[in-house]
Structure formats: structure tokens, C-alpha cells
Structure 1
Amino acid sequence: MNNDMLSQEEIDALLKGPDKEEEISEEIGDMEKDALGEIGNISMGTAATTLSTLLNQKVTITTPKVTITTIDKLADAYQIPFVAIDVTYKEGLEGANILILKVDDVKIITDIMMGKDEIDLERELTELDLSAVSEVMNRMMGSASTSLSEMFFRKIDIEPPKSYEITFNEGKERIDILKGDQPLVKISFRMVVGDVIDSEIMQLVPIDFAKEIVNILLGNEDETSITQEAYEIDRDFEINEEPPKTISLKGKKENTTGKIIDNDTKEEAVVVKKPVFETFNEKSNTSYNESIDLVAEIPVEITAELGRTTKKIDEILEYGPGTIIELDKLVGEPLNIYANGKSIARGEVVVIDDNFGIRITEIVNSYKNS
């Protein structure tokens, strides 16, 4: 008789119902998690370079860890205030995500940007801190958006970020993507800034938005939108008289011989090259050949940029003979080449006899197609 009776643990499990974590995990698979991790790794790597330039400190952001959670679980696990930066995409993607930083990390970032000799962690967080971290995140996520644009073959841009000092319970009322009980993708990074910050930052993405990002990356969008993208990136890949043999659009679908091929070996014939492109190119070439003699003798100033940096006025006033200014370019990194201020190419420094020169290694696509 006793063997047929349920234990208290079994009764609690029946009353509780299926485990919420298991239900959430079924909504996004390991492949999607890996894709999100790779996206975060690439975009935050670019953002780390930007932060390093702003703070003049070495910045390292480690490979992310991707998990699925809910706002209630986060509210239980993290009860102290933090700084939330709300980043909304305005072009290329439709959605938003939240970046979570510790309050002390924000104070450190602000003090470094203000040029303070000592970092004060005992002070109260101010509006100046929130404004400073908003600007930092605007620069960082702007750089990350550029990386995403190259990855997704579309222009991606963000709204100016908004920063809040809140708890997760307060976030349920103030931040749209934290309202309700929808699952969230939590992407955790370890961020090391010089010897002043060794901390964890967190990126929270609504699961529906995360799925949309993964679908774009893996090529699971509507066929019509993929075809339209193939037209839009025609100039970038120079699809004119003959399409390239292999152009990866979104991982699962490839443009090989003017067709979109899916993994199920089903082929759908899609004309990648619009007739209007061919006509446009013919006119452009004819006009160019006829008019080049008229402008051939106009002088053009060619400039090679070794690098850039940003300094405060008081630092510049201290400059003198022998001062070394560190630039944002790494050793061996291509230098930018400008024609009358317009970027046209990249190259590497060479020495010709006693003179410096620059060998062109890459022509900028926008100049090449203009």
C-alpha cells in the first residue's frame, strides 16, 4: 500500500507542473545559442577596440556564455542596483536589447574619461555617470553595428542608448523588454580594462528578437526578402556580367550560378541580375570614357593617414619636443588612403630609398563602384 503512495517531493512536482527552464530551453536550440554566441563574440570584440580607444586602456572581452532565463529569475539572483543601457535598433533590425553593467564599473569608466588621477568608488552615481556611459555605449554599439552590417549584408544602426540605475524589479516597470514574463537570452561576457576593471557584463535579448537575428544569419528569412537582398548587395559583390561562383548569403542558402539553393536540394530559379543594372553600367562606362579627358589634368590631393587619437586640451598644452603620441593603429594594420578627403583605398607603409611610401593593398568598394 505504501509503495503506491506518492512522496512529498513527487506531490510538489505534480503541483508545480513541468519545469519552466526545460520549457524555455526547447524554444531555442544549441545551434541558435552558438550562433548568438558567435554574433556576440564578433560584435563585442569590435566594441572592445572602441572602448580601448576611449579609455586609453587595454580592453579584453572574453568569449560569451549564452543561457536562457526570465526576468523573475534575474530579479531573484540580482537584487542590488545596476546600470542598464537600453539599446534599440532603428535600421536593419527591429528590436532592442539591454546591457547590464555594475555601478562601480560605470564610476570607473566615468572617472577615467574625466581624466581623474584617483577613482572614487565611494561616491554616489550621478547623471554625469549615466550620460558618460550612454556615450561610451553609443560608440561601442555603433562599432558593433558596423560589424553586424558586414555580417548580415545590410546597414544596421541604433538609436542613442538610454541608461538607468535600477534593479531588475524596477526594470519590470520602466524598460519595455523587461516587462512581462517572456524568456530572455542572457549573453554574459567577462570584461577586463587595464588593471582597474575585471568584471562581468550582461546582454539581455528578448527570445523573439534573438530568433529573428539567428534566422537572418542562417538564411531562414522569407525567400522574397533574400532575393531582394541579393539585388541590394549586387554592387558590393560586383554581380554584373557573370555572378561569382559562390557567394554565401546567410549560411544555409548560397548564390552559386544565379540561383538560390536550399539545404533540401530543392532549387528555385531566381534572377539575381536585374536588367536595369546592365543598362546602368553600360551608360556609366560610356559616360566615363567620353568625359575622362576633361578632368584628367585636375590635381587631386592624396593623403595617407597613419592613425588618429583623441586628447584633452590640457594634455595638448603639455606637448613638447620628444612627446610621443600613441595612435589607434596597430603595427601592421592597413592605413587609410584619401583622395581630397574621400576614403578610396587601404595600404601598407614601404620605404623607397630615403622616402616613405604606401603600397595599395585594397580598394574601398564604395569608391570603386561610384
Structure 2
Amino acid sequence: MSDGSLSQDEIDALLMGNDSLGGMDGSSDGFAAEGLSSSELDALKGLFGKVVGNLSSTLSGIMSTPVSIKAPRIESLSRTDLMSGLSDEVVEVKMDFNKGISGGHAFVFSPENAVKIAGPMIGQSDVELDGTAISAVGEAVSQLTGAEVTAIGDSIGANIMTISPESQKMAKGLLSPGGDSLVKITYPVEIEGHGSLEMIEILESSVASSLASKLGSQSTASNDMSGMGMPDMSQQMGNAGGMGNQMGNSGGMGQQMGNMGGMGQQMGNMGGMGQQMGNMGGMGQQMGNMGGMGNQMNPYMMQQSPPPNVQGVQFPEFGANISPSEQRNIGLLMDVSMELTVELGRTKWQIKDILGIGEGTIIELDKLAGEPVDILVNNNLIAKGEVVVIDENFGVRVTDIVSNLDRVGET
């Protein structure tokens, strides 16, 4: 190589080296040979293509406006290529997978797109990208990821969980998903009245490979189960009918062999041959009986049991008569004192709020103004009433007696 030229052997070696690299030319398709295979990318496209419906409905509910999310574009890129397609500053919402699948996962928005998401959620048209707006974007991504992992979990037969969302504005070089190769999922989003934007989801290659692998395993398991299916019931019934026909045919064969027995008796003078034929006649009679049994089995197998006769149960009524001794026993209970309570309402507070109660604290109850109060005896609801004032005391006027059925429902 002193003259700067390459020998034929060196050229061949370089060509073989390029072939071994799979023709990498810096594009996403070439990088898929090092990151994800084409089959893995196809599996992910099918999976996330099914998820967009859930994402659209979820985002529409969050933003209170119609949202359309189209099928995503999925690419396996080097970290350098991924960064080149992002704005210098981004809003990242980090939600790594920590159950079912483990690895880095985040949604990334340009500042302009983050404002388009936060504006309808906050209810303002002109929104600054401050802490409130970034928190709104984080809440939107949290809801989207919840719908996404539910759909993915159903597809791969696994329970997938993520960490709590961590949203912040940062330089693109500080993105949290690690590794030299990453998977970029780009969703075209159309928000009615707010224009269009691109929502970018980033997966570490290990996460994407694990998803594709689980999808393949789930598909293989489904095919195996279908191959092990039980035979059709109609086929089983057909086999049963064929068995009956075969046994009926046995009867016909028995009759024929019985006739052979008669022929054997006529040929009795022929000695041993006649005796053998006579024995065949006995066997023919036995098989003829089997034919009769076969004829009996067919109608039995097809017979349907009559429907059961179902009648309602009638319980005897209890007598209302009370004996004098029982009446005296009840009279002994009339002087027993019981605690009667009128409950104005209830509420629940946290311990920190209860410890902060002081003079002037107002406690709001679960009863509306003018709503009947509860009258309880030994903590059992018996009636409802309204509060009245009697001289200088409060009282209750009973307005409704609670029925026995309502009392059971209260307990």
C-alpha cells in the first residue's frame, strides 16, 4: 500500500467485511440489523398499531376535545441519529417499566408540542411552558401509558407496570433511556381546534426486544392450543351412531350364520363337517342376540330425558297469637332503658387535619341542609326526622319510620 492503491485481495477483504455488516448505511433500516431485526420491528408495528385506539380515546377524555392518533412509525436508531431528529430542548416524561418488562421508557415532546397538550388540559389558549404546564403533560402521559400497558399486557399475557411519571424540561442530550441503540415510536396526533403534533415514545432496545419476544411466544402458545383442540361433538355423535349401525349389522351376520347352522344339521350325514357347521350355528345365534342389543342401544342413546317439574316452595305462615306467659315476659322488657341518638351527619378527616382542629374550625358533614336526620336506638337506625326547637332545647320530629327491609339493608 506504499503507492496508495489497494490490491485485489484487500478489495475482496473489504467487500466481505461490508457484507458481514449487513449493508449498514446509517439509515434506520440498516441499523435494525444491529438494534432490532425486521421481524421484531414488524411485530412491534402490529402491537402498537392496535394500541392507538385506546390512546385516542384516553387523550380525548383528558383534553375534553376530540383527538385522533394515527398508526405510529417505528424505527430502530442509533442514539446519535435519534438526537439529530429532536429539538435542542425537550420535555421528557420518564416512565420506566419495572414489572413484566424492565427497562427505560419515556415520552418526549418539543416545547411547542408540549404546550399544545397542556393548553386544553389547563383550559387556556395561551400557555407558557412553566411547572404547571409540564405537570399537565406528565399527567397526560401517565394516563396514556396506563391505557397502553393495559393493552400490551392483554396482548402478551403479562401484567406490566411502570414507575410514577417524572416530567421535566431538559436538553436533548440528557434523555434518560440509555444504550447506543434505541427504538423511536412516532405518533401523528390531530387535536381538534389545536392543530397537529408528533408525540414521540422512546424505548430501550432491550425493552423492545423483550416485547417482540413475548409476542412471538404468545402467538406460538395460541397455535399450540388450537392444534390440541377437542374433536367436534357432531363427529363424536356420528361415531356413536356408526357403532350402533355396526352392532345392528352384527345381528344380520348372526342371522346368516344361524342359517348356516340349519344347513349344517341337514348335512349331518357328512360327519365331522356337519358337526362343525352346527357349532357355527350356535355362535350365529349368540351374535344374533348381539344384533338385538345393538338395535336396543340406538333409541336409548338418542332418548332425551323429560324436563324436570319445578314448583315454587310454599312456607307456612307463623301464627300471630301470643300466649299469656309470653305476653308477661314481653311486659318485663318495657322498663328497660335504651340509648336513643339523633345523628346530624358524619365525615372523614385525615389524622393531620384532626390534630389541627381548633377554635373556629368548621367541619362539613355529609348531610345536606334540610335533609332528614337519622334516629338510632343502640346504633340501629329506626326512623328519620327533622330538627325542631322546643323552648331552649333541640328536638326531633319523626317524619318516617324505617321498615324492617330498610333496616336490614342498613346493616
Give the TM-score normalised by the residue count of structure 2.
0.47
For 2:126, the aligned partner's letter is I
Q: Say if 1:78 and 1:168, in contact at 8 Å, map to a contact too.
A: yes
The answer to whether 1:59 aligns with 2:48 is no
> Which residue pairs with 1:89 in the alignment?
97
> Which residue pairs with 1:139 in the alignment?
143
User: Which segments of 5 or more consecutive residues in structure 1 lack a partner in the other structure?
Assistant: 221-247, 260-292, 294-370
Instruction: Name the Cα RMSD after superposition.
Output: 3.2
For 1:207, the aligned partner's letter is S
When residues 44 and 97 of structure 1 are mapped into structure 2, their CA distance, relative to the original with a 3 A threshold, is farther
CA distance in 2, matches of 1:253, 1:20: 40
Q: How does 1:1-370 map to 2 (within 5 A)?
A: 5=5, 19=24, 21=26, 22=30, 24-116=32-124, 118-120=125-127, 123=128, 125-171=129-175, 175=176, 177-178=177-178, 180-181=179-180, 183-219=181-217, 250=221, 253-254=224-225, 256-257=227-228
Q: Say if 2:31 and 2:77, in contact at 8 Å, map to a contact too.
A: no
After superposing on structure 2, the runs of 4+ consecutive aligned residues of structure 1 that deviate more than 6 Å are: none
When residues 28 and 54 of structure 1 are mapped into structure 2, their CA distance, relative to the original with a 3 A threshold, is same
When residues 198 and 155 of structure 1 are mapped into structure 2, their CA distance, relative to the original with a 3 A threshold, is same
For 1:84, the aligned partner's letter is E
> More strand per residue: 1 or 2?
1
CA distance in 2, matches of 1:90, 1:208: 13
Specify the SS of the correspondent of 1:111.
helix
When residues 39 and 60 of structure 1 are mapped into structure 2, their CA distance, relative to the original with a 3 A threshold, is same
Specify the SS of the correspondent of 1:155.
coil
In the TM superposition, residue 119 of structure 1 has moved relative to its aligned partner by 2.5
In the TM superposition, residue 28 of structure 1 has moved relative to its aligned partner by 2.3
When residues 218 and 129 of structure 1 are mapped into structure 2, their CA distance, relative to the original with a 3 A threshold, is same
Specify the SS of the correspondent of 2:96.
strand
Q: What does the per-residue CA deviation read over 1:208-254, in whole Å, with 9 as the maximum and x for residues that have no partner?
A: 2111101101108xxxxxxxxxxxxxxxxxxxxxxxxxxx6656644
Please identify the structure whose Cα radius of gyration is greater: 2
CA distance in 2, matches of 1:85, 1:252: 38
Specify the SS of the correspondent of 1:63.
coil
For 2:204, the aligned partner's letter is P
For 1:70, the aligned partner's letter is S
Specify the SS of the correspondent of 2:189.
strand
CA distance in 1, matches of 2:106, 2:167: 10
CA distance in 1, matches of 2:31, 2:112: 35
In the TM superposition, residue 197 of structure 1 has moved relative to its aligned partner by 3.1
CA distance in 2, matches of 1:250, 1:43: 22
CA distance in 2, matches of 1:145, 1:76: 28
CA distance in 2, matches of 1:51, 1:99: 14
When residues 53 and 77 of structure 1 are mapped into structure 2, their CA distance, relative to the original with a 3 A threshold, is closer
When residues 186 and 253 of structure 1 are mapped into structure 2, their CA distance, relative to the original with a 3 A threshold, is farther
CA distance in 2, matches of 1:255, 1:167: 51
Q: Say if 1:217 and 1:250, in contact at 8 Å, map to a contact too.
A: no
Specify the SS of the correspondent of 1:25.
coil
CA distance in 2, matches of 1:208, 1:138: 22
When residues 252 and 197 of structure 1 are mapped into structure 2, their CA distance, relative to the original with a 3 A threshold, is farther
For 2:52, the aligned partner's letter is M
CA distance in 2, matches of 1:85, 1:195: 25
Q: Say if 2:59 and 2:144, in contact at 8 Å, map to a contact too.
A: yes
When residues 63 and 250 of structure 1 are mapped into structure 2, their CA distance, relative to the original with a 3 A threshold, is farther
CA distance in 1, matches of 2:54, 2:221: 21
For 1:211, the aligned partner's letter is S
User: Which segments of 5 or more consecutive residues in structure 2 lack a partner in the other structure?
Assistant: 231-312, 314-411
In the TM superposition, residue 24 of structure 1 has moved relative to its aligned partner by 4.3
Q: Say if 1:249 and 1:255, in contact at 8 Å, map to a contact too.
A: no
For 1:65, the aligned partner's letter is R
In the TM superposition, residue 27 of structure 1 has moved relative to its aligned partner by 4.2
CA distance in 2, matches of 1:23, 1:195: 38
Specify the SS of the correspondent of 1:119.
coil
Q: What does the per-residue CA deviation read over 1:109-153, in whole Å, with 9 as the maximum and x for residues that have no partner?
A: 22212222x334xx3x21112211111111111111221122122
> Which residue pairs with 2:263 in the alignment?
none
CA distance in 1, matches of 2:116, 2:184: 24
